[in-house]
Every structure is written in structure tokens, then in C-alpha cells.
Homo-oligomer: A and B are copies of this chain.
Amino acid sequence: MPPKNPSASIAAVALHAGVSVATVSRVMNDMDGVRPLTRDKVMASVTALGYRMNHLARNLRTAASRLLLTMVPDVGNPFYSEIVRGIDSVAREHGYFVMLCDTGAEAGRESAYFDLLRTHRADGAICLDPDTVQHALANESNILPWVACCEFDPAIAVPYVGVDNYRAAGDAVRHLIARGHSRIGLINSDQRYRYARERQRGYLDALQAAGLQARPEWRRQVDSLDYDAGKHATLQMMTLPDAPNAVFAVSDTLAIGALSALRQLNKRVPEEVAVVGFDDIAIAAQTWPALTTIAQPMRALGETAAQLLLQRLADPQATVQGVLLPHRLVQRESS
């Protein structure tokens, strides 16, 4: 039973092994230029003393925390949590840990978190917050290494990864049109999000291209992605004299709320009202009826974001890039 002393310092190990601290450091960092025999001696002392390196000290010296900040508007949303897993997996692969921060999409909290970069508590950040709040951070982007994920403004010189929201929304609407629906409603989220604005544009253009009406009453804006928000929006929309016979929701959670509302209204889905969502979160396949939706490669979105950030950290002056990942329509029962 070796005496466990996690607080033993590198000096203690050096003493025990009869070598210098520099040598211990070399061994601990797997650097070459150490005689195997010496290395073994050091390792023996390390286990004998139960030594663990103090990362605080190393961090100060190397000026790196090996922590990646991830700022999400809402960790509770299944869409975001899947992305976080993607980020986490590649971060860990590269020896980084992730610090998860729930910003509630508030600019204030976001910029407070950004201080973590300025104070060297994190090496880089991935931001999923509204592009409107990203703008505030754009000026410092050259100094502070961060990338945008899902939400991004191509005009900002910040690496990003996302999907083509305009085209994706168009695909959803065109699908609905192809299924014979003509009065198509939109449940949209917070317009501070560029994705919300882009999807609305896609919706509108697709409608127009098909020569269909795009009545303003058929568009509802909600300020959260809760199930209830989608439900209420749908309930309201359906009281309209000439209510939509199909609805496109910009998020699965909203769409699921819509399903719930339609059930309450005794509307048959998709016969009386069709529903299409966005994201393809796990639950989308389990609803009744199962949700037709635009799938986003959530995992890959997170992984790519982490890769971009890691790239940027490795080479700060590398050219800024933007990546668009493919989406696809997953047709189930609700349309």
C-alpha cells in the first residue's frame, strides 16, 4: 500500500528519485531525451509517493488551462445537450475538458462568461447564443479564440458550423406543399436568433415560389422553446377563422407542443393539420403521431465546432472558415 500523497510536489519526487526537478518534469510530460533507466526510477518514485501533478502550477507556467468554454442558451433543451456531447467527445480526445455555461441567451451573462477567456480560466469558447449577442463579442474575436455553432453570422470573422437554415426551412415547406397543404402556418422562435430569421425567410420564399398565401396571422412568434410555448401558439393559431391546415415549427419541442394542442382541439394529424418540426431530437420518433422533421446532425455539429476551435488554438492566425453541414427531411407520421 503506497503512501498516497496527492499533494507531493515535483521536488519531492525529484528528491526521492535522486534526480532534478527538470528530469521529473520531462518524464511527466513524456518528453524524450531521458534515459530509460532514469525514467523508470522517476516513475517508481511517482507511484511510491502517489504523486499527481498540480495542474494549477502547470497552467500558470504554460499559460493554458486546457479548458474549453461552451455557452448554450439552455442546457435543458435536448437539441443543445446532444451538441454538447459532440463537443465533449472531441475535446476529451484532445486532452481538453469542457466547462458548460447556461447563458439563458442573455447578453449580460454571456459576456460575463467571456471573462473566463480574458482571465485565462478557459483557453477557448464555443458559442451557441443568438447571433445578436455574438455581435457584441465579435470585436474581440481576434484576441479571444472562439467559434460559433448553430447560430452564426457569416459576416462576422469568426469560424462557424451550422446548417443552411434558409434551405432547410424551404425543404420543410415544400414538403408540406407537396403533401397537398395550402394554408401553412409557422411557429417561430425568438427573432434574436439568426436561425429563426433565416427559417422564416425560407418559409416565406417557399410559399411565394409556390404561389401560396403567407398570411401574417399564420405566423406566431414565441420567446422560448418550451413545449408549452408551441402548444399555446398553436392553440391561438387554430382559433383563426381560416386556420392553417399545416404548421411548420422551427424546433421539435415547439412542434411537439403543437401536437399536444391539436390533440386537445381534437384535430386529426396529419389529416386535418399536418406538422413538421426541426432538429430531430430523440423524442421526435416517439410522439404520436411520430414527428416529421428536418434533421440536423447534432452530434457532428458539436464535434465540428470543437475541431474548429482546437484548430484555431493550434494556429491562431489560420484563416477563418465556415462550415455548413447537411440537413435532411425525416418523414414520419405527422405530415
Stretch touching chain B among A114-122, A129-137, A173-181: A114-122
Contact with B along A72-92 (1 / 0, CB 8 A): 000110100110110010000
Query: Does A286 lie within 8 Å of B227, measured CB to CB?
Result: yes
User: Nearest Cβ distance between residue A119 and chain B, in whole angstroms?
Assistant: 4
A226: interface (CB < 8 Å) = yes
Tell me the bound Cα distance from A282 to B260 in angstroms: 13
A47: interface (CB < 8 Å) = no
Query: Does B85 lie within 8 Å of A55, measured CB to CB?
Result: no
Stretch touching chain B among A58-66, A182-190, A203-211: A58-66
Chain B residue contacts of A67, Cβ below 8 A: 67, 99
Query: Does B260 lie within 8 Å of A119, measured CB to CB?
Result: no
Query: Does A81 lie within 8 Å of B75, measured CB to CB?
Result: yes
A316: interface (CB < 8 Å) = no
Tell me the bound Cα distance from A14 to B151 in angstroms: 41
Given contact pairs A56-B56, A102-B88, A231 touches B286 in the complex (Cβ within 8 A): yes
Chain B residue contacts of A227, Cβ below 8 A: 282-283, 285-286
Tell me the bound Cα distance from A4 to B82 in angstroms: 36
Count residues of A near B (Cβ-Cβ below 8 Å): 49
Query: Does B102 lie within 8 Å of A100, measured CB to CB?
Result: no
Chain B residue contacts of A85, Cβ below 8 A: 75-76, 102
Query: Does B118 lie within 8 Å of A52, measured CB to CB?
Result: yes
Chain B residue contacts of A116, Cβ below 8 A: 97
Q: Which chain B residue lies CB-closest to A117?
A: B6
Query: Does A260 lie within 8 Å of B286, measured CB to CB?
Result: yes
Which listed residue, B98, B121, B257, touches A56 by the CB 8 Å rule? B121
- Give chain A interface residues in 17-73, CB to chain B under 8 Å: 52-57, 59-60, 63, 65, 67
A308: interface (CB < 8 Å) = no
Query: Does B120 lie within 8 Å of A55, measured CB to CB?
Result: yes
A101: interface (CB < 8 Å) = yes
User: Nearest Cβ distance between residue A161 and chain B, in whole angstroms?
Assistant: 19
Tell me the bound Cα distance from A237 to B288 in angstroms: 21
Chain B residue contacts of A268, Cβ below 8 A: none
Which listed residue, B63, B99, B119, B288, touches A263 by the CB 8 Å rule? B288
Chain B residue contacts of A63, Cβ below 8 A: 56
Tell me the bound Cα distance from A231 to B59 in angstroms: 48
What would 13 more interface pairs be, CB under 8 Å, given A75-B84, A75-B88, A97-B116? A4-B140, A55-B120, A56-B121, A59-B59, A59-B60, A75-B81, A97-B99, A98-B100, A226-B282, A227-B283, A263-B288, A283-B283, A287-B288
**What are 17 A-B contacts defined by CB distance under 8 Å?**
A54-B60, A55-B120, A55-B121, A56-B59, A67-B99, A75-B88, A76-B282, A81-B81, A88-B100, A88-B101, A97-B116, A99-B100, A227-B286, A256-B286, A259-B288, A263-B288, A283-B283
